[in-house]
Amino acid sequence: MRTVKVGVIGCGFISKIYLSNMTGVFRDTEVVAVTDIVLANARGRAEEFGIPRICATVEELLRLDDIEIVVNLTIPKVHAAINRQILEAGKHCWTEKPLATNRTEAKELVELAGRKGLYLGSAPDTFLGAAVQTARRLIDQGWIGKPIGAIGHHLRPGPESWHPDPDFLYQKGGGPLLDSAPYYITNLVYLMGPVERVACGAVITFPERTITSQPRYGQKIKVEVPTLVSAILNFRGGAMATLVFSVDVEASRWQDSRQNKQSIEIYGSEGVISIPSPGQFGGQVYCKRNGIADWIEVPALFGYATDSRGVGPADMASAIIHGRQPRASVELALHVHEVLFGLEAAADSGTSLAIDSTFVMTPPMNGSALPGDVDVA
């Protein structure tokens, strides 16, 4: 069977789960080369996952003719530059979030991909997991009627408590707005459609952080981006969502409620769906119909309930093989980024802002696909 050969740029913390899945779970991806600015990281991942080629530079990897998709797992502030290199080399590109750190660069990348006839996709791909795919099926089948509103919270301590090198998460391109909010906004627009207007408030609660994780325990980080964000999204279909993101919160009842750490509720004219944290792929989905006293525990109707990072590149590989558009489309990625940058601008200006972009809702995952696949052969 045909596989799509993949190269990976960036072999840091997040690369482990991507490489584990792209080499050991998904059948359409074949990782043939890795590179990292710290070559020892690339050597370590290549040995760990049996990857045949270790490239000394990004340019060396991009010169490999057999690679069709390049996965960019570098730090946010260099995403735009490396994504541009990937596309200009004639490769399809999947990037960790964000696509770029500003609206202009994001649009330029989308335009470049279009001119080149290449696929461009951006994390998060958690919306392709079991929980959100199940919620999408329920909404599509009218279980809650017409969606009219949603709420979501992401309240937790900062990444300096667990990440070995958390600095970049407090620099431009990081913070809750560009690190955590993409999960929520991607999942919500996938379930509820495009956003037409946003409003936002954001503050830097603590200008300096102390690392409490190893190996850099006790070192200080200067905070460059807001760490408490409150957002309002108005959807083109008439619904509205209220979202709060913070890395300043030690504990929250929202996070240990009966609903098993549910992070989004979507309210409809006929009922409610409660879905797990959009930062994960699985978890329990609940539904309550109007007039019925009890919540229903909805079984997963799709696969990929464990940490399935890499399903986005796998879906892109399947799209190449089967001649279709990826479910994680470039239009979806751009719309999510325009919402994020719109929220950033709205917080700076103190006004609500219109979102001009839109996207076509892509079909859900194929529930009949075998484990390791995203389509039926």
How confident is the model over 137-189, as pLDDT tens digits?
999 999 999 999 999 988 889 999 999 999 989 998 889 998 889 999 999 99
Looking at the fold, whether 299 and 166 belong to one and the same domain comes out as: yes
- Segments forming the whole domain that contains residue 69: 4-122
pLDDT band at 257 (very low <50, low <70, confident <90, very high): very low
Looking at the fold, whether 84 and 131 belong to one and the same domain comes out as: no
CB-count exposure of residue 111 (10 Å: 0-12, 13-18, 19+): exposed
Looking at the fold, whether 132 and 144 belong to one and the same domain comes out as: yes
Last residue of a domain, one of 81, 96, 122: 122
Non-local (6+) Cβ contacts of 269 within 8 A are 144, 145, 146, 148
What pTM does this model have? Answer: 0.92
Looking at the fold, whether 135 and 114 belong to one and the same domain comes out as: no
235: CATH? 3.30.360.10
Report the run of H or E that residue 265 belongs to, with start and end: strand 262-268
97: CATH? 3.40.50.720
Last residue of a domain, one of 66, 101, 122: 122
Q: Which three-class secondary structure state does DSSP give residue 262?
A: strand
Q: What is the mean pLDDT of residues 301-310?
A: 95
**Least confident piece of the model among 44-58, 150-164, 203-217:** 150-164
> Where are the extended beta strands (E) located within 89-227?
92-95, 120-122, 147-155, 195-203, 208-210, 220-222
Count of structural domains within the chain: 2
Looking at the fold, whether 131 and 27 belong to one and the same domain comes out as: no
**Cα–Cα distance for residue pair 326/13, rounded to 1 Å:** 26
Report the run of H or E that residue 333 belongs to, with start and end: helix 330-349
**Cα–Cα distance for residue pair 346/330, rounded to 1 Å:** 24
Q: What is the pLDDT of residue 255?
A: 58
Radius of gyration of the chain from Cα atoms? 20
Looking at the fold, whether 79 and 190 belong to one and the same domain comes out as: no
**Cα–Cα distance for residue pair 257/319, rounded to 1 Å:** 39
Looking at the fold, whether 148 and 284 belong to one and the same domain comes out as: yes
What's the pLDDT tens digit per position in 308-343? 999 999 999 999 999 999 999 999 999 999 999 999
What are the φ/ψ torsions at residue 33 (nearest 5 degrees)?
-160, 150
**358 φψ region: left (φ > 0), alpha (ψ -120 to 50), beta (else):** beta
Looking at the fold, whether 305 and 334 belong to one and the same domain comes out as: yes
Looking at the fold, whether 113 and 135 belong to one and the same domain comes out as: no
Residue environment code for 169-191, b if the CB has 16+ CB neighbours within 10 A, otherwise e: bbbebbbbbbbbbbbbbbbbbbb
Name the nearest CA neighbour of 201 among 345, 354, 356: 345
Last residue of a domain, one of 83, 101, 122: 122
First to last CA, the chain: 10
Looking at the fold, whether 68 and 176 belong to one and the same domain comes out as: no
Q: What is the mean pLDDT of residues 220-242?
A: 97
Looking at the fold, whether 59 and 139 belong to one and the same domain comes out as: no
Residue tagged 């996709």 (tokens)? 121
Looking at the fold, whether 171 and 78 belong to one and the same domain comes out as: no
What's the pLDDT tens digit per position in 89-123? 999 999 999 999 999 999 999 999 999 999 999 99
